[in-house]
Chains A and B, each alone.
Chain A
Amino acid sequence: MNEVGREIPRLEVRAKVSGRAEYTHNLRLPGMLYGKIFRSTVSHGRIRSIDTKAASLAGVHLVVTGEDIRKLIPEPYYGPAFHDQPILALDKVRYVGEPVAAVLASDPHVAEQAAQLIAADYEELPAVYDEVAAMQPDTLVHDVLRPAGTFADLKHLKDRKGTNVALDYHLRRGDADKAFANADRVIEHTFKTQQCLHLPFEPHVAIAEPGDGRLTVYTSNQTPSFIRVEIARLFGWPENRVRVKVPYLGGGYGAKVYVKLEALVAALAVLARRPVKIALTMEEQFYMITKHPTTFRIKSGIDKHGRVVARACEVHWNGGAYADIGPRVTQKSGFTAAGPYDIENVSIDSYALYTNRTPAGALRGFGVPQLVWAYESHTDLIARELGIDAVAFRRNNILRDGRPQASGTVLRDAAIGEVLDALASRIGWDAPFDRGSGALRRGRGVAIGFKASISPTTSVAVVNVSADGSIYLYKSTVDMGQGSDTAFAQIVGEVLDVKAEDVRVVAPDTDVTPYDMGTLGSRSLFHMGNAVRLAAEDARAKLRALATEAGLPAGTNYPAAEIFKKRYGMQAGNVIGTASFVPNHTPPDAQTGLSDNVTPFWMVGGAAAEVEVDTETGHVRILRLVNAADCGKPINPAVARTQLSGAAIMQLGFTLSEAMQLDGGQVTNASLADYKIPGIGDIPPMEAAFVAAEQHSGPFGAKGIGETGTFGVSPAIANAIHDAVGVRITELPITAEAVLRALRAKAGRPLEDA
């Protein structure tokens, strides 16, 4: 059966077009209470008192504060990197919007009204919002930091006091200082990115159902296995007393990794002894999780042949009030901060910082889009300053297979040069084009980026062949729209010679489906895909053994149903194939940050843009956007293409319009009316190009593609704007106002501040 490579529709597509797909959003349980959250109005302060008396409305079942939770759970702090986040605020609040109390009622409107009647008194403390300012220990967001010690890649985090730095990662390759001293030219820039958000249309939602010393958690979450571990840890229970069930997700993009509402609903359900559901509103998502703002200082030394011989990178990541997975963003992205170039001497310093903002985590790229924004803007500026064509300059410096990346890991199966070539050829880089006239000026730009996968991580899969030969696949990967269920069914179908549509893919349920580290970082197709393939191969081998046991002649190809009937005398029995997949990994050296095996695979992508700038208004129109990627050999090319274009359009929003605005720590645009995401009218003419490639260690040559489309979009557009009108935007988003300000400044007529 040729299932791999077939462009079948997603398995659940019929349920989705008819509105019947199952989401946590839909779920209601008998006797269920709705929870609403009372949130902090100050950025940083000690809690003096919380007055909940007025909240005792008719219909209110329970009002809960952090102290009530501390009686149930003595150490009610959670987090994947540090146990720093309280289930409800304790002693201090650290950002506007932090949950302080919760109200439970059988009618959500009553709960909401009651939550508005709670009052809290705070002793306000000085706050810090900027990631560079947070390097100084003048204002401390946390008095003490306790590492979680959960994940293998974050075991090195240390107890810290007197600092806002959650993690600092340093890489030293060659001798950067010496190389800068000997360089022909040294060029330095600083770039910044803004705070923006995932905003899945199914806002965070979770339900906890208490049982006899047990809990079932139904949640819209990308990491069911982690939720089970973390809830069990908080209660001091074995894992098997917590069951986590995850249906389809109405979007995730990294917003729904690790604990979000789950610890809160679990504690509330145990206190109330009733099922509890909390569903955030769109506005409340602005107080849950965001994308890191960054400040990136980058310096390059170039020799007289136009080769980059040294690069120094200093990246500050604004992690907000709680670390979430920011330390991994800082480290994993950190070691690629010098870009996909072959540079002998590299120094990287990457800092995860606490500030008094909504926490930041992973958003489609684990920090890589922020890095590519800086290093590809910088690369373009170097080429301009040297008077070298931007594509030729990149080709001269590009990192090729067989050469060591900055970390020391030798590049394998990363088609960086091919992606650059595809972009140049699709956009017609070497051909003349219309540069516009009058107030409307046109330009073009290109950008490429790469990303390492998360490592070391574990995925386990189970393939169950029933007595009639029909097949179940059990895995804890969450399908949030990326099509993982479909891809895994295709892999099973390929191995066991059945149609993918006939494989029953069981939704994550930790009582049933085995461990997976999480659906994040584009890791699923590679890690779980490999586990699924191995589990299917195990089932195939066991079926053959069963045939031998049943006395069927070897080498014959009996249908599974006949093997079972022969062995058990009727339609009975199962064959269970199972496998785990854990790629090899060498942790980065504590001093040098170097590793000879830092990632099991590389994601490679880029963009080329042609833009038109209205010099009278600063408005930028994208005339063409080409996205190119190495996704290995795609399992389902049609689904892979939608991942590439969807990621690129999402990044287009982060490039041109999306920015969370703060006033004294208060978000001032927490709604879709004031925070502009791309609509159908904002989509430029787009093309997708997959380069011919193969990930030899991936399942049937495939690798992850969920984030790759984000990499090049922002710098390609900034580079094209520079090409069109000669101004450089160094901070996202690139609004018309920002472009107009730059144009007026260049013309010597700067706009006054509003």
Chain B
Amino acid sequence: MGTRTINFTLNGEPASTAIEPHRNLVELLARYGLFGARESCGQGLCGCCTVLVDEKAVSGCLYFAVWVDGKSVTTVEHLDADGALSYVQQAFVACGAIQCGFCTPGFVLMTHQLLKHYPDPSDENIRHYLAGNLCRCAAYPEIVEAVKQAAKTAPTRTRQPR
């Protein structure tokens, strides 16, 4: 099967690869040893495969790899690039908002985007915004707490994930 060469930015670094058009973004990231985005339901319903493309969250299982050509891709592995957990990650740790951890990267990335739109989110904001992320261990009460705590500890109200 034919391949196409794509050029993109991956976690702040330039990247280039030849890839078949049927491969999705999760498969592309695996080539770079990035496994934080995970294909689970395969239908864009669970949020385990969440990746930021040009700072917007997408479902990596439904997003063709070739679509990132010319774009900037950020994965959960980039959030602690400077060695320190992001404020959202720290809040998830502090609130125990994790059990098996398989869905956690998706929740963390989505919470960064949520807090960009709602610096002081209500319970309703949180539930609505995170409706596309599922947690089978059902750490939901702790996740809601973590989002609220992250909102309080955000370094600046407009800070983006790196």
- Give the distance to chain A from B156, nearest Cβ to Cβ, in Å: 21
- Give the distance to chain B from A108, nearest Cβ to Cβ, in Å: 9
Asked whether any CB of chain A lies closer than 8 Å to the CB of B130, the reply is: yes
Is there an interface contact between A201 and B89, defined as CB atoms closer than 8 Å?
Answer: no
The closest CB in chain A to the CB of B129 belongs to: A680
Asked whether any CB of chain B lies closer than 8 Å to the CB of A178, the reply is: no
- Give the distance to chain A from B89, nearest Cβ to Cβ, in Å: 4
Q: Using A18-B85, A250-B100, A679-B131 as known contacts, say yes or no to A646 and B137 having CB atoms under 8 A apart.
A: yes
Is there an interface contact between A13 and B102, defined as CB atoms closer than 8 Å?
Answer: no
The closest CB in chain B to the CB of A678 belongs to: B138
Is there an interface contact between A20 and B36, defined as CB atoms closer than 8 Å?
Answer: yes
For residue B127, which residues in chain A have a CB less than 8 angstroms away from its CB? Answer: 680-681
Asked whether any CB of chain A lies closer than 8 Å to the CB of B52, the reply is: no
User: A10: which of B30, B41, B80, B96 is its contact (CB, 8 Å)?
Assistant: B96
Main secondary structure, interface of B, reads: loop
Give the number of A-B contacts (CB < 8 Å). 153
For residue B75, which residues in chain A have a CB less than 8 angstroms away from its CB? Answer: 19
Bitwise, B117-158 to A at CB < 8 A (1) or not (0) is 000000000111011011111111111100000000000000
Tell me, in angstroms, the Cα distance from A679 to B48 when the chains sit together: 13
Is there an interface contact between A17 and B92, defined as CB atoms closer than 8 Å?
Answer: yes
Bitwise, A244-255 to B at CB < 8 A (1) or not (0) is 000011111100
User: A650: which of B45, B100, B136 is its contact (CB, 8 Å)?
Assistant: B136
Asked whether any CB of chain A lies closer than 8 Å to the CB of B104, the reply is: yes
Asked whether any CB of chain B lies closer than 8 Å to the CB of A115, the reply is: no
Asked whether any CB of chain A lies closer than 8 Å to the CB of B160, the reply is: no
User: A251: which of B30, B93, B100 is its contact (CB, 8 Å)?
Assistant: B100
The number of chain B residues with a CB under 8 A from chain A is 51
Asked whether any CB of chain A lies closer than 8 Å to the CB of B46, the reply is: yes
List CB contacts (< 8 Å) of B88-105 with chain A: 89, 92-94, 96, 98-105
The closest CB in chain B to the CB of A203 belongs to: B40
List CB contacts (< 8 Å) of A1-18 with chain B: 9-10, 12-18
For residue A680, which residues in chain B have a CB less than 8 angstroms away from its CB? Answer: 126-127, 130-131, 133, 135, 140, 143-144
Asked whether any CB of chain B lies closer than 8 Å to the CB of A638, the reply is: yes
- Give the distance to chain A from B106, nearest Cβ to Cβ, in Å: 9
Asked whether any CB of chain A lies closer than 8 Å to the CB of B65, the reply is: no
- Give the distance to chain B from A27, nearest Cβ to Cβ, in Å: 9
- Give the distance to chain B from A592, nearest Cβ to Cβ, in Å: 40
Is there an interface contact between A672 and B139, defined as CB atoms closer than 8 Å?
Answer: no
Tell me, in angstroms, the Cα distance from A15 to B75 when the chains sit together: 14
Tell me, in angstroms, the Cα distance from A23 to B94 when the chains sit together: 23
For residue B94, which residues in chain A have a CB less than 8 angstroms away from its CB? Answer: 9
Is there an interface contact between A18 and B136, defined as CB atoms closer than 8 Å?
Answer: no
Interface centre among A202, A203, A678 (most CB of B within 10 A): A202
Tell me, in angstroms, the Cα distance from A26 to B130 when the chains sit together: 25
Asked whether any CB of chain B lies closer than 8 Å to the CB of A645, the reply is: yes
Is there an interface contact between A25 and B35, defined as CB atoms closer than 8 Å?
Answer: yes
Is there an interface contact between B99 and A481, defined as CB atoms closer than 8 Å?
Answer: yes
Asked whether any CB of chain A lies closer than 8 Å to the CB of B25, the reply is: no
Asked whether any CB of chain A lies closer than 8 Å to the CB of B42, the reply is: yes
Main secondary structure, interface of A, reads: loop
For residue B141, which residues in chain A have a CB less than 8 angstroms away from its CB? Answer: 645, 683, 686
Is there an interface contact between A14 and B85, defined as CB atoms closer than 8 Å?
Answer: yes
For residue B134, which residues in chain A have a CB less than 8 angstroms away from its CB? Answer: 201, 672, 677, 679
User: B104: which of A16, A252, A642, A671 is its contact (CB, 8 Å)?
Assistant: A16
Is there an interface contact between A639 and B43, defined as CB atoms closer than 8 Å?
Answer: no
- Give the distance to chain B from A627, nearest Cβ to Cβ, in Å: 11
Tell me, in angstroms, the Cα distance from A415 to B40 when the chains sit together: 40
Is there an interface contact between B98 and A19, defined as CB atoms closer than 8 Å?
Answer: no
For residue A686, which residues in chain B have a CB less than 8 angstroms away from its CB? Answer: 141
Is there an interface contact between B137 and A251, defined as CB atoms closer than 8 Å?
Answer: yes
Is there an interface contact between B93 and A200, defined as CB atoms closer than 8 Å?
Answer: no
The closest CB in chain B to the CB of A13 belongs to: B93
Tell me, in angstroms, the Cα distance from A482 to B75 when the chains sit together: 26
The closest CB in chain A to the CB of B45 belongs to: A672
Asked whether any CB of chain A lies closer than 8 Å to the CB of B77, the reply is: yes
Tell me, in angstroms, the Cα distance from A202 to B38 when the chains sit together: 8
For residue A15, which residues in chain B have a CB less than 8 angstroms away from its CB? Answer: 101
- Give the distance to chain B from A675, nearest Cβ to Cβ, in Å: 10
For residue A14, which residues in chain B have a CB less than 8 angstroms away from its CB? Answer: 85, 93
For residue B138, which residues in chain A have a CB less than 8 angstroms away from its CB? Answer: 645-646, 649-650, 678, 683
Is there an interface contact between A646 and B99, defined as CB atoms closer than 8 Å?
Answer: yes
List CB contacts (< 8 Å) of B60-87 with chain A: 75-77, 79-80, 85
User: A642: which of B22, B99, B105 is its contact (CB, 8 Å)?
Assistant: B99
For residue B45, which residues in chain A have a CB less than 8 angstroms away from its CB? Answer: 672-673
Minimum-distance CB pairs A-B, first 4:
A19-B36, A481-B100, A16-B101, A250-B102
Instruction: Please list 23 pairs of residues, one from A and one from B, whose beta carbons are closer than 8 Å in the complex, sorted by A's number.
Output: A9-B93, A10-B96, A15-B101, A16-B104, A17-B85, A17-B92, A18-B36, A19-B104, A20-B35, A28-B30, A200-B136, A201-B100, A201-B136, A202-B100, A282-B43, A481-B98, A642-B142, A649-B138, A672-B45, A672-B46, A680-B127, A680-B135, A680-B140
